[in-house]
Amino acid sequence: MVVARAALVRAAVRVSVAARGLATLEAGAQGRVDGVYRSAVNVATPDGLLTIASPAAGGLPNGVLVDLGPDLRTLGIDHGMTVCAERGALRIPAAAITIPWTEAVRWSPRFQEPGGGARGAVTRWRRRSVRARSIARRLAAERGFGPLLFAGDDAGSPMLERARGALAALTTALLVGDRLAAAYPIRRLIGLGDGLTPSGDDVLIGIEAALHALGSPAAGFLDEALADVDARTTIVSAAYLRHAAAGEFAERLHHLLAVLVSEEAREATLAGAIGEAVAWGATSGTDCLIGALEGLDIAAGIDGNIAAAAA
C-alpha cells in the first residue's frame, strides 16, 4: 500500500530577478530535478539551472529562497522528478511540494557602484591589497587552490602548477586588455578540480565578480570561452559561469567585495569578511576569494601576485 505524502506549501521569501529558468517554467516548460542537497535543490530547465535554496544560503543568481525545513533531502524529492510552475507557484508534484513565489522579494544579483565610486574603490584597494592577502593566507583553506596564495607551495601538484600558469597568463592578458589571449587560460581553468563547482571555475567567478564590482573594462571576459562550457564542467558550475559572464553573482560575493573595497575597513572587519568567505563549502569559498583578490588587483592595475609567483 502506497501512503500519499502530505502536501507541503511554503511561500518563497526571495527570488533572483535573473532566475531565467523560473520564467521558462511559468511559460509552460517543464524542468527536472538534477540534484538534491541539504540546503538546495537544483532544477534543470530549458533556459538554465534553477536553484531552490534555504534562506541561509543567501541570494543566488538563479535562486528561489524558501524555508522548506533543515534538510531538503528528507522531503521525498528525487533526481529526475518533474518540476513545473502554474498560477505563480513552483510545484514538484511527485513530492507534493508547492512554492508560491509571486509575493517574494525580488533581488538583483548585479553589483551597484561602490560607495565613493569605482575610482575611490580602486584607490582604497591599492592601499590594502597586501594587507588583505596577508589575512587570506592566514585564514584560507589549504585544499583546492589555497596553496596559490603562497609562492612555490604547489610544487609536485600538476593541478596547481597548471592553475598557477593559467592564472598568470589570464592576469597578464586582462591587464593589457587582450580578450583573445585570455580565452586559452580560461579554457585551461574551466572544470579544473573536483566537486560540484571545480576550483578553476570558482576562481574565474571570483575574478569576474571583482571586475564587475569595480566596473572594469575587462568585466565579461568569460564570454570568450563559454561556447562549450557544458561539456567541460558540471551543470551547476556551467550555470554560475554563465551568470558571472553576465555580471550576476551570489550575495556572499557581494558582501565580500563590499568589505574589501569599503571606505572604512579595519583589520578585524577584513578578517571577518575573509573568514566568512572561506567558510563557504569545502574549497569554494577559498577559491572564490583567490579569484576576487586577483580580480581586484587586475581592476586596480596591480601585477605581481600569482603572475609573479609563476615566473
> DSSP letter string over 169-187?
HHHHHHHTT-HHHHHHHHH
Kindly indicate the confidence band of residue 305, based on its pLDDT and cuts at 50, 70 and 90: low
Q: Tell me what pLDDT residue 307 has.
A: 44
Segment 93-107 mean pLDDT: 97
pTM assigned to the model: 0.94
Phi, psi for 139 (deg, rounded to 5): -105, -20
CB 205 within 8 A of CB 249: yes
Apex 60 CA angle, 56 and 66, nearest 5? 50
Segment 127-138 mean pLDDT: 93
Kindly indicate the confidence band of residue 308, based on its pLDDT and cuts at 50, 70 and 90: very low
Distance CA 39, CA 53 (A): 6
Enter the C-alpha cell of residue 206.
571570483
pLDDT surpassing 80 at residue 143: yes
Enter the C-alpha cell of residue 291.
579569484
**Secondary structure element (H or E) that encloses residue 60, with its range:** none
Distance CA 155, CA 169 (A): 18
Segment 31-60 mean pLDDT: 97
Lowest mean pLDDT among 101-115, 122-136, 148-162: 148-162
Half-sphere exposure of 90 (CA within 13 A, CB side): 34
Q: Tell me what pLDDT residue 108 has.
A: 98
Kindly indicate the confidence band of residue 40, based on its pLDDT and cuts at 50, 70 and 90: very high
Residue 247: how many other CB atoms lie within 10 Å? 18
Q: Tell me what pLDDT residue 123 has.
A: 92
What is the average pLDDT value for the chain, to the nearest integer? 92
Kindly indicate the confidence band of residue 155, based on its pLDDT and cuts at 50, 70 and 90: low
pLDDT over 70 percentage in the chain? 94
- Which stretches of the chain are DSSP H helices? 20-26, 117-139, 158-175, 179-189, 199-213, 235-245, 251-260, 267-278, 284-299, 306-310
Distance CA 31, CA 62 (A): 14
CB 89 within 8 A of CB 98: yes
Enter the C-alpha cell of residue 34.
538534477
pLDDT over 90 percentage in the chain? 84
CB 239 within 8 A of CB 248: no
3-state DSSP assignment of residue 149: helix
Each residue of 227-245: pLDDT tens digit? 999 999 999 999 999 999 9
